[in-house]
Amino acid sequence: MAGSKVASMRDAVAELVRDGDTVAIEGFTHLISFAAGHEIIRQRKRDLTLARLTPDLIYDQMVAAGVARKLIFSWLGNPGVGGLNAIRRRIEDADPAPLEIEEYSHFGMVGRYTAGAANLPFYPLRSYFETDMPVANPLIRPIESPYGDGVVYAVPPLRPDVTIVHAQRADARGDTQAWGLLGCQKEAAFAADRVIVVVEELVDEAVIRADPNRTIIPGLIVDAVVVEPFGAHPSYVQGTYDRDNRFYRDWDPISRDEAAIQAWLGEWVYDLDGRAAYTERFGAERVAALQPSGTAPSGSVDYGRYG
C-alpha cells in the first residue's frame, strides 16, 4: 500500500532506535509498549537514556538487561507493590554499575515534553518552591516573570530521539487514536525526532476520519506503525485487556534477585522472537482472564455532513 508505514517490531526498532539515543516509551500505567521494550533488549541496544514519568516494570527490565546508562523520570516505583528493584540496586549500590538519574515531578516532566513539542526554550510551572528538588537537579531553575509578578520554576525542553507509544488503533499512515488515560503520549510524540506507534489494531483511514476528535497523534509525525496485539501487557489497553496486577506483584520477588531477573529475561525476552511468541507462552487462559468483565460502549456522536 502506498504511503504505508506498517513495519515489523524488529525492523522498526532496528531502524529507528540507535545506541546512545534518548528513548521515551510513554504511557501513564496505560498503553505502555512492553513489546517495544523487549525488542530493544533483544537487539541489545546500548547506552540509552530512558525517559518516562513512571519508569514502571518495563524500564526495570531494560535497566536489568543493560541497555541504559541514564534515567529521566518523576516517579520510580511499582505502584501499590513497592520499588523497582533492578533500578534501585543500580542507584543505591551501583550494582552492577552506576545509573545516572535526572529527576523531576510529574508536572515537570509533562512540561518538559510540552516545551520540546512546542519548540519552547523552557516550561514554567508553579512547583518546586521550598523543596530540595532544584538542589538535586540543577536543571530545575527559578525564573523571574518578565511582567514583574514573581518567580516561577522552569524546566528545560525534552526532545527524545525516539518516542514509542502504544494505542488502540491507527491507520497505515500512522494516524493514531487512543482512549482511556492519555498520559502525555501526545506531547512525548510531538517532542520526538522519530516516532513509533504500536497498536492493537490496524484500521482503514475511514475509521479514523469518522471520529477525528479521538486522534491524538497524526501520521504526519509517525515513522513506523507496528501492529502488535497484547503488546502492552502487563500494562493494559482500555476496553481491550485489563492491567495484569498479578504480574506486577510477581515481578517484585523476581526483581529482588539478579539471577531470577536474568532467567526471566531469558525465558520471556531473549528466547522469544517477538510478541506473538510471548502471548502464546503466556497462554490463552491467562489472556482470556484479562478481558474486561463487560462492555461499556460510549455511544456515538454525530459530526454531521457539510457540503
Partner 1 sequence: MGPNAGVAFTKSEMMIVAAARELAGQHVCFVGVGLPNIAVNLAKRTVAPDLELVYEAGVFGAEPARLPLSIGDPTIVTGATAVTSMWDLFSLYLQGGRIDVGFLGAAQIDRFGNINTTVIGEYDHPTTRLPGSGGACEIAINAREVFVIMRQSRRSFVERIDFRTSPGNLGGAENAARIRRAQGWLGSGPSVVVTDLGVYHFDESGEMRLDALHPGATLDDVRATIGWEPKVAVELATTAPPSEEELRLVRVELDPDGAYTR
Q: Contact between 76 and partner 1 (CB under 8 A)?
A: yes
How many helices (H) and strands (E) are present in the chain, helices listed first? 12, 12
Residue of 46, 129, 209, 267 interacting with partner 1 (CB under 8 A): 129
Q: Contact between 287 and partner 1 (CB under 8 A)?
A: no
Residue of 66, 83, 218, 274 interacting with partner 1 (CB under 8 A): 83
Residue 15 beta carbon to partner 1: minimum distance, rounded to whole angstroms: 29
CA atoms of 23 and 191, how far apart (whole Å): 11
Residue 33 beta carbon to partner 1: minimum distance, rounded to whole angstroms: 15
SS3 of residue 125 by DSSP: strand
Residue of 9, 64, 72, 110 interacting with partner 1 (CB under 8 A): 110
Residue of 181, 210, 263, 277 interacting with partner 1 (CB under 8 A): 181
Query: How would you label 6-34 residue by residue, b for 16+ Cβ within 10 Å and e otherwise?
Result: bbebeebbeebbbeebbbbbbbbbbbbbb
Q: Contact between 77 and partner 1 (CB under 8 A)?
A: yes
177 φ/ψ sector (left φ>0, alpha ψ -120 to 50, else beta): beta
State which of positions 24-53 bind partner 1 (CB under 8 A): 28-30, 53
CA atoms of 254 and 259, how far apart (whole Å): 9
Q: Contact between 73 and partner 1 (CB under 8 A)?
A: yes
Whichever of 39 and 200 has its CB closer to partner 1, that residue is 200
Q: Contact between 128 and partner 1 (CB under 8 A)?
A: yes
The three grid cell numbers given for residue 39, joined into one nine-digit string: 525488542
Burial zone of 143 (CB within 10 Å; 0-12 exposed, 13-18 middle, 19+ buried):
exposed
Whichever of 151 and 277 has its CB closer to partner 1, that residue is 151
Letters for 217-236 (x = contact with partner 1 by CB under 8 A, - = none) are -------------------x
Q: Contact between 107 and partner 1 (CB under 8 A)?
A: yes
Q: Contact between 253 and partner 1 (CB under 8 A)?
A: no
CA atoms of 278 and 267, how far apart (whole Å): 9
Burial zone of 84 (CB within 10 Å; 0-12 exposed, 13-18 middle, 19+ buried):
buried
Contact 303, 246 (CB under 8 A): no
Contact region for partner 1 (CB under 8 A) — 5-13, 58-66, 143-151, 260-268? 143-151
Contact 24, 68 (CB under 8 A): no
Q: Which of 191, 221, 27, 24 is nearest to 112 (CA)?
A: 191
Size of the site for partner 1 (CB under 8 A): 56
Residue 88 beta carbon to partner 1: minimum distance, rounded to whole angstroms: 5
Contact 113, 187 (CB under 8 A): yes
Cα dist from 126 to 136, 140, 277, whole Å: 18, 12, 47
Contact region for partner 1 (CB under 8 A) — 4-12, 23-31, 157-165, 251-259? 23-31
Q: Contact between 132 and partner 1 (CB under 8 A)?
A: yes
Q: Contact between 201 and partner 1 (CB under 8 A)?
A: no
Residues across the chain: 307
Q: Contact between 134 and partner 1 (CB under 8 A)?
A: no
The footprint of partner 1 (CB under 8 A) covers 28-30, 53-54, 73-77, 79-81, 83, 87-88, 91-92, 103-107, 110, 114, 125-133, 135-136, 149-151, 179-184, 186-187, 236, 238-239, 242-243, 245, 248, 292, 296
